[in-house]
Amino acid sequence: MVGRLGTAGMLVFALAACGGAGGTTAPSAAGAAARPTPAPARASVAPTPKTGDVQKVLAGMTREEKVGQLFMPVLYGTAADSVSGENQARFGAQTPAKVIAKYHLGGVILFPANVKSAGQVVRLTNGMQAAAKKVPLLIGTDQENGLVSRMAALMTDLPSADRVGATGDTAYSRAVAEATGAELKVLGVNLDFAPVADVNLNPRNPVIGRRAFGSDPGKVAKMVGAAVRGFGDAGVASTAKHFPGHGDTSTDSHTGLPVIKHTRAQWEKLDAPPFEAAIAAGVDAVMSAHIVMPKLDPSGDPATLSKPILTGLLRDKLGFKGVISTDALNMGGVRKKYGDGEVAVRAVLAGADLLLMPNDFPKAYDAVLGAVKSGRISEARLDASVTRLLTLRKNRGFLTEAPVASAAQAAKVLRSAQHRKLAARAAG
């Protein structure tokens, strides 16, 4: 049981899905002498949506259930039936299972406070899936490896993106992502908020840095595409982040609102290539950044709330048809101008499908539901997001039947000799 955390404890969760302190692990120091060249990367084909079953599931959902599908909050406790004052205070229900049922949640994101042992996490994810009666949950986490590794206590210490990028070998990027995905999958986690697709253009960047594959857009693009294919090999959904590119800033979007003054031509040359590569490789989701790019949208709103950026660039220009996730909505960068309810509504209107970690969950849920009832968010717009979220599940094989994790399987896969050997080789 995880008790009430209080203000200090909540700072961990404020450092949200884009990463930050809390539950991190240092990059692997496992050295390697001469590393053999990995086997050539296997061909990968982007999954083809099968919309028939998706439309059937969508048709059986109420408006309230559809709105619930858009949300992925943090829940408190190490078991589905853990009683927590934090859950009661934030959601009006004491246990993760009751919160899931109350709001028809589409997903849950795990943090280190949810993690004690492999068997415990397996029971937690299985228990939460059992609480989602109509549609299996998206269970996500930030497992980038290196500085942002929420499941570090259980998983192989695989090298960070900068170390993998330094090898110059995309086969390592693919292999590390596949190993990461395989270990997450046996724990019941089906969505990773990785890989980072930012190009680390600013040495003073306080939030990206070593989390990026490097500073060359072309090389980063190749590594990102390979990583997306690796997650696909493991059967786990991947997320390219943080669109339209968080690499050229010296401001941390957890606490402030960065402004990046790239022109459209500079963006196309410096920031876009890794996202284009991710889309070509079949990435399941793209996460928005809480950054302002005035040359792409002069409104002054962060990209998370920008229709010209999320819909105009990501959907229309780059042709992305998958799930758009916000970065965590409890971060300072997105909460500068609007209240917690309005932020959620504006994110949906901008083009987001998945609303991650709203600061005030009931207010955000009620605001989105109210916007649908009033027609500000049309039923068609709501259905479009839910269809994309359901299609992700369909493509990954759990639209109507939740995956069941196994503690015995987890014991075989987590920190396996094969993965530890890979970690040593890929560390460079």
Integer Cα distance of 202 and 248 in angstroms? 5
Strands 191-192 vs 285-288: parallel, antiparallel or unpaired: unpaired
CA pseudo-torsion sign 153, 74, 92, 403? negative
Q: Catalytic: which of 104, 242, 254, 419? A: 254
Tell me the two tokens of residue 286: 């793209």
Give the Cα separation of 141 and 327 in Å (integer).
12
Tell me the H-state helices in 236-339.
Answer: 264-266, 272-280, 307
Q: Which residue in 157, 169, 327, 353 is the catalytic one?
A: 327
Pairing of strands 143-145, 148-149: antiparallel
Dihedral, CA of residue 196, residue 24, residue 75 and residue 133, to nearest 10: 60
Q: How far apart are alpha carbons 401 and 392 in whole angstroms?
A: 13
Residue 413 contacts residue 405 (beta carbons within 8 Å) = no
The Cα 180–Cα 135 span in angstroms is: 25
Instruction: Judge whether 366 counts as a catalytic residue.
Output: no
Residue 166 CA to residue 49 CA, distance in Å, equals 35
> 254 an active-site residue?
yes
Structure tokens at 40: 């050539």
Measured distance CA(327)–CA(290) in Å, rounded:
7
Which residues are designated catalytic? 254, 327
